[in-house]
Amino acid sequence: MTKICSKLPETGTTIFSVMSQLAAEHKALNLSQGFPDFPVDPQLIELIYRAMKDGYNQYAPMPGLPALREAIAQKNEKTYGRSYDANTEITITAGATQGLHAAISALVHPGDEVIIFVPAYDSYKPAVELNGGKVVEIPLEAPDFEPDWDRVRAAISEKTRMILINTPHNPTGTIWSKSDMHELEKVTSDTDIIVLSDEVYEHIVFDGNEHWSAARFDGLAERSITVSSFGKTFHATGWKVGYLCAPAHLMTEIRKVHQYVVFSVNTSVQMALSQYLQKDSNWTNLPDFYQKKRDAFRGSLTESKFKPLACSGTYFQLCDYSQISDESELEFAKRLTAEHGIAAIPISVFYPEIKNQNLLRFCFAKNDRTLEEAAIALNKI
Ligand code: PMP
Ligand code: GLN
C-alpha cells in the first residue's frame, strides 16, 4: 500500500454525516443535521426552471452572476447600511463552507494563529490547520455562552492573523450583542487582524432582537469578511450557494483561491436568486416563521425531562438531559436515535477535547407534524 502522511490525522467523519446516516439506518426523525424538511418556495423553484429554459446553463462569471452580486449589494445596503461594490467586494461561493475555506486559505499563512470560540462549527479548525495555521480556542461557557473579552485580549498575540466569529451561533443558539461587536472592534483596532464573520443565520433572530453584522460597524467592516448562505435563508441547504462580502483588497486574495477551487457556482440557481432577492419579505419573514417553530418545540417539552436552554437565534435548540442520563453526549445521542427514533447532535464534538455537559442540539427547522412527533417521543423518555 502506498504510504501517505495524513494532513488531518485527528479528523474523523463530520458528526453531521455520522448522525444523519444513523438516523436513516434507524428510520429516526432527523433533528440532527441542520436542514429543513419542508419545501422550498415554489416561486423560487419556478424561477430556476425558467432560468434553465432561458439558457442559463453554462459557466457563470468566476465571482458570480453580476445580477446576483448587484442584488446582494442592494440587500446589504438596506439591511446593514453598508455599500459593497458588486464588482470587487462580493463573491458567490459553493455554500458558506467553501467561502469560509477560500477565505482561510487565502489569508492564513503557516504559523499564523486564528482565534475561534468553542463550541465551534466543525469546518473551521481543519480549514485553518490545512493551511498551516494554529487554532487558539476560547471557550464559551454554558449556559449563556457569552464571549469573555478579557480572555480574548489575553489570547491575542503578534501571531494572531484572524478572529473567526459566528453569530447567530451554531450550535448554542446564542447571538452576539451590539456591545460584543464593539468589544471586537476595540480589540482589533490598530492591528492587522482579519475578522471572518460567519453569519449564515443572519435572518434567524428572535424576540425582536437585531442581528449585529460585522458589516454594521465601520471599524469591523474594513477588516471583515462576512459569510452568508442561501441554503439557510431560503430553506435550500442542498443547493450549496452562499456568498462572501469583504473590502476589495481582501476579496482580491480570496478570489485567487476561489477561482481554482470551484471557479464558479450553479448559474441557473444564481439567476433565480437574483430575481427572488427583489422581494424583501422573502427573508424578512424568517424571524417570525422560525420563532413560531422554536416556541412550539420548546412548549411541547414543558413536561419532559429535556430542559431547553435559552435560544435567541438559529434553528437549533439546546436541551439539557441531566435528568435522564449521565451517558456521554455522543453515547446518549446514538441511543436516542436507535432506541427512541430521534436523532440529535452532541455538542461535545464542537470542542477541542470532548467535553460532556449533557447537552444535545435539536434542529427545529421542521414541519409542525415532525416537531409534534418528536415531542411525543421525547416526552416519553
Ligand atoms: N457555518 C455555520 C455556522 C453553519 O451552521 C453552516 C451549516 N449550514 C455553514 C457554515 C455552512 O453553510 P453552507 O451549507 O451554506 O455551506
Ligand atoms: N450546518 C449544518 C448543521 O449545523 C450542517 C451542515 C453540514 O452537514 N455540513 O447542522
**185 and 207 part of one domain:** yes
Atom number, ligand 1, closest to the C-alpha of residue 169: 3
Percent of the chain with pLDDT over 90: 98
Atom number, ligand 2, closest to the C-alpha of residue 97: 9
- What was the pLDDT predicted at 42? 98
**202 and 91 part of one domain:** yes
Give the residues across from 162 on adjacent strands.
114, 194
**148 and 243 part of one domain:** yes
**119 and 183 part of one domain:** yes
Atom number, ligand 2, closest to the C-alpha of residue 17: 8
**211 and 149 part of one domain:** yes
Indicate the average pLDDT of the chain. Answer: 97
- What was the pLDDT predicted at 333? 97
- Domain-embedded: residue 52: yes
The Cα–Cα gap between 267 and 61 comes to 9
Decide: 284 and 362 in contact? Cβ < 8 Å.
no
- What was the pLDDT predicted at 75? 98
- Domain-embedded: residue 7: no
Kind and range of the H or E element at 362?
Answer: strand 359-363
pLDDT digits (tens, 9 = 90+) for 254-312: 999 999 999 999 999 999 999 999 999 999 999 999 999 999 999 999 999 999 999 99
Residue 177 has phi, psi (to 5 degrees) of: -85, 170
Query: Ligand 2 pocket: which residues have CB below 6 Å?
Result: 14, 16, 33-34, 170
What range defines the domain where residue 361 resides? 15-40+284-379
Of 255, 282, 309, the position where a domain reaches its end is 282
- Domain-embedded: residue 117: yes
- Span of 290-294, 339-343, 350-354 with lowest mean pLDDT: 350-354
**302 and 353 part of one domain:** yes
Look-up: residue for cell 469583504? Answer: 246
pTM value is: 0.97
**82 and 212 part of one domain:** yes
Of 257, 282, 307, the position where a domain reaches its end is 282
The Cα–Cα gap between 121 and 138 comes to 13
Q: What angle do CA 85, 77, 272 make, to 5 degrees?
A: 75
- Domain-embedded: residue 187: yes
With 90 as the cut, is the pLDDT of residue 355 above it?
no
With 90 as the cut, is the pLDDT of residue 353 above it?
no
pLDDT digits (tens, 9 = 90+) for 188-236: 999 999 999 999 999 999 999 999 999 999 999 999 999 999 999 999 9
- Domain-embedded: residue 324: yes
| Confidence category of residue 47, pLDDT binned at 50, 70, 90 | very high
The Cα–Cα gap between 286 and 77 comes to 19
- Domain-embedded: residue 234: yes
Peptide bond into 110 cis (omega under 30): no
- Domain-embedded: residue 8: no
Nearest ligand to the C-alpha atom of residue 244: 1
| Confidence category of residue 96, pLDDT binned at 50, 70, 90 | very high
Cα-to-centroid distance, 2 and ligand 1 (Å)? 34
| Confidence category of residue 10, pLDDT binned at 50, 70, 90 | confident
Domain count across the chain: 2
The Cα–Cα gap between 286 and 313 comes to 11
> Does the C-beta of 229 come closer than 6 Å to ligand 1?
yes
**194 and 337 part of one domain:** no
Of 250, 282, 314, the position where a domain reaches its end is 282
**316 and 167 part of one domain:** no
**69 and 36 part of one domain:** no
Nearest ligand to the C-alpha atom of residue 347: 2
Decide: 7 and 133 in contact? Cβ < 8 Å.
no
> Does the C-beta of 242 come closer than 6 Å to ligand 1?
yes
- Span of 3-17, 34-48, 215-229, 276-290 with lowest mean pLDDT: 3-17
With 90 as the cut, is the pLDDT of residue 249 above it?
yes
CATH number of the domain to which 298 belongs? 3.90.1150.10
Which residues, at least 6 apart from 174, have a Cβ–Cβ distance to it below 8 Å? Answer: 140, 144, 145, 146, 167, 168, 310, 312, 313
Cα-to-centroid distance, 98 and ligand 2 (Å)? 13
CATH number of the domain to which 233 belongs? 3.40.640.10
In this structure, the residue with its CA closest to atom 3 of ligand 2 is 34
**32 and 82 part of one domain:** no
> Does the C-beta of 170 come closer than 6 Å to ligand 1?
yes
| Confidence category of residue 100, pLDDT binned at 50, 70, 90 | very high
In this structure, what DSSP letter does residue 193 have? -
> Does the C-beta of 200 come closer than 6 Å to ligand 1?
yes
Nearest ligand to the C-alpha atom of residue 361: 2
- Cell readout for 291 is 420563532
- Domain-embedded: residue 6: no
Decide: 29 and 341 in contact? Cβ < 8 Å.
yes
Atom number, ligand 1, closest to the C-alpha of residue 237: 14
> Does the C-beta of 370 come closer than 6 Å to ligand 1?
no
